[in-house]
Amino acid sequence: MTDPHPIDLYAAKLELAARARALGFTKLGVASVDIPEDEQHLLRWLDEGFHGEMDYMRRHGTLRSRPADLVPGTVRVVSVRMDYWPSSARDAEEVLGDRSLGYVSRYALGRDYHKIMRRALAQLAEGLAARIGPFGYRVCVDSAPVLEKALARNGGLGWIGKHTNLLARDAGSWFFLGEILTDLPLPLDTPATAHCGSCQACIPACPTGAIVAPYRLDARRCISYLTIEHHSAIPVELRPALGNRIYGCDDCQLVCPWNKFARTATHPDFKVRYGLDAPRLAALFRWTAAEFDARMRGSAIYRIGYERWSRNIAVALGNAPASDSEALSALHARREDASALVREHVEWALERHRVRETSTGQAISGPETPTGEPIS
Ligand code: B12
Ligand code: SF4
Ligand code: SF4
């Protein structure tokens, strides 16, 4: 028997793309659920322990590479990207080069992207359902075990670069990804082709040597992991290389030539809040827990909590210039902090300054170049 109301899937996809643009997404693409090669890379990555303390990565295993196991009935993944580079922020290299300031990754200067994108994706799916009738779907933004970059690449949104982020010729890499997992057999897009060519700029630009080979990231060395995902003490040998990066890291993307073509964020919620684009470290370290809660609620930074935030700033204060008396007094003021984790990082930072003072007057060398340099 033929369906009395067949859905025109081509028209549905065109409509989705148009609605996505109206909601602030810069591109939409559709992929099948099959990513066997990426699954092999994922399993090898896990076997090598590159996920560190992110136990959920191991726990989810192949669920991450099999969207139909996550949501039964899924046959397509609709991926979208949304630009986040804030146009009004202080120059990233300038901030990285001034060790009395803290560097917050450019994706986290405004409001939490998870909420912004989930809301827009839900509107996108609901809009289509209102037009064509109910269909099965689930929206995700980093919120479900889904191999987002591989699926977005297959949907034509960009290629996975040697730094392991997704990038595109017309958009660079300063964008987030989100998906709709659906049972609608929408027409497929063509996977994006790769354009890193012989470039390797991101690999030596990494301050901690976390990109151990092209396309292979040891998260345990990545500053993004260390400042956001890692709960315990930051390994002592990596602390100098963190420089003034207190939340996330952008270095491998800052050097990428394709980011000349990146576009700035259009969503008003990505505007810089509380001067986070160039905050004075000493002033940040004086925030109380209540001030942190009040100011960071609604930001991605809120997720790491006051203790990890303070731990990160203590490390950056330890890497501040020897002449920075403001840094020293901010550290002294929290020597008796309630958190043992923070106290230990404060002592490390003070010791680093003491060694500097008693040495021949020369500052201890951390990675002093604006974008950092490998420590090994
Ligand atoms: C875990 C995670 C992290 C971890 C690990 C990063 C990583 N590379 O996996 C940490 C905490 C370090 C991290 C950091 C960042 N993250 Co993150 N992260 C994720 C998360 C939740 C899962 C990623 C994942 O599945 N990793 C598993 C490993 C196996 O994947 P992979 O390293 O990318 O490896 C793939 C390829 O490189 C390839 N591959 C692997 N080995 C080999 C070997 C060879 C020879 C070849 C050819 C290929 C190959 O296959 C693998 C599978 O596709 C995703 C959201 C999601 N649900 O997907 C966000 C996500 C990837 N992160 C994102 C962002 C923005 C960041 C940061 C830029 C934040 C910041 N500024 O601090 C940094 C970037 C660091 C970097 N250089 O990658 C965005 C990326 C957007 C984009 N344009 O790509 C995502 C997609 C979140 C989102 N919804 O927007 N992240
Ligand atoms: S440059 Fe920064 S974000 Fe990129 S891999 Fe290295 S530590 Fe991680
Ligand atoms: S810096 Fe070069 S190698 Fe790295 S992702 Fe960009 S184009 Fe690819």
Find out whether 181 and 125 touch, Cβ atoms under 8 Å.
no
Q: Which ligand is nearest to the CA of 373?
A: 2
How does pLDDT run across 264-310, given as a tens digit for each residue?
999 999 999 999 999 999 999 999 999 999 999 999 999 999 999 99
206 lines ligand 2 (CB under 6 A): yes
Over residues 181-190, the mean pLDDT reads 97
The finding on whether 112 has its CB within 6 A of some atom of ligand 1 is no
Neighbours of 49 (CB within 10 A): 11
Whether residue 376 is predicted with pLDDT greater than 90 in this model: the reply is: no
How confident is the model at residue 364, as a pLDDT?
A: 40
pLDDT of residue 373 exceeding 50, the answer is no
Reported pTM: 0.95
Which tokens sit at 123? 């509107």
Q: Which amino acid is at 213?
A: A
pLDDT at site 367 = 36
Question: 193 CA distance to ligand 3 centroid (A)?
Answer: 14
| Ligand minimally distant from the alpha carbon of residue 220 | 1
AA letter at 334: R
Q: Whose CA is nearest to atom 7 of ligand 3?
A: 196
Active site (catalytic) residues: 142
Distance 150 CA to ligand 1 centre (A): 10
pLDDT tens track for 195-230:
999 999 999 999 999 999 999 999 999 999 999 999
Please report where in the chains the tokens 């690449």 appear, as a residue.
153
How much is the pLDDT for 356?
81
Res 357: pLDDT: 78
Instruction: Give the confidence band of 142 by pLDDT, cuts at 50, 70, 90.
Output: confident
Q: Which residue CA neighbors atom 6 of ligand 3 most closely? A: 256
Q: How far is CA 121 from CA 56, 142, 176, in A?
A: 24, 13, 13
Ligand positioned closest to the Cα atom of 367: 2
Ligand 1 site, residue 327, Cβ cutoff 6 A: no
Helix ranges (DSSP H) in the chain: 9-22, 36-47, 55-60, 67-70, 92-96, 113-132, 148-154, 202-205, 223-224, 239-242, 251-254, 281-285, 289-296, 305-318, 325-333, 340-358
Are 267 and 82 in contact, with CB atoms under 8 Å apart? yes
Q: Sign (positive/negative) of CA torsion 148, 153, 158, 164?
A: positive
pLDDT at 30 over 90: yes
What's the gap in Å between 50 CA and the centre of ligand 2?
Answer: 14
Q: From the CB of 226, is ligand 2 less than 6 Å away?
A: no
What are the tens digits of pLDDT across the range 235-268? 999 999 999 999 999 999 999 999 999 999 999 9
Minimal CA–CA distance to 245: which of 290, 205, 212, 273?
205
